[in-house]
């Protein structure tokens, strides 16, 4: 995954596209953040939802301390 950063001067919009913002059950805004890691001489990527850049950094720190694999996913059921 390549993450491109654009300066505010070049970006006329006030925020991210709609697909990169959602709300939680308390109607607080969540934003998608990209994560990247290296393994076996390759770069891999995933994403998380967080309330802010600081919250995303805190979540990554928590993952470093306690992340475990739960199992393979086979499907998804809409709630």
What is the pTM for the complete model shown?
0.76
State the Cα–Cα distance between residues 1 and 36, nearest whole angstrom. 7
pLDDT-derived band at 6 (thresholds 50, 70, 90) equals: low
Given strand 29-39, what is the order of strands in its sheet? 21-23, 29-39, 42-50
In a domain, 12, yes or no: no
pLDDT at 12 over 70: no
pLDDT at 4 over 80: no
47 close to 34: Cβ distance less than 8 angstroms: yes
pLDDT at 47 over 90: yes
Q: Mean pLDDT, to the nearest integer, of 8-22?
A: 78
In a domain, 78, yes or no: no
Q: Domain span at residue 37?
A: 18-66
* Mean of pLDDT over the chain: 90
Share of the chain above pLDDT 90, in %: 78
Number of structural domains found in the chain: 1
In a domain, 46, yes or no: yes
């Amino acid at each position: 995954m390549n993450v491109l950063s654009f300066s505010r001067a070049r970006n006329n919009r006030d925020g991210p596209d709609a697909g990169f913002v959602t709300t939680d059950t308390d109607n607080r805004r969540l934003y998608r953040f990209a994560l990247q890691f290296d393994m076996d001489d390759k770069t891999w990527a995933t994403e998380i939802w967080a309330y802010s850049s600081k919250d995303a950094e805190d979540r990554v720190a928590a993952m470093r301390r306690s992340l475990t694999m739960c199992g393979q996913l086979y499907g998804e059921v809409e709630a």
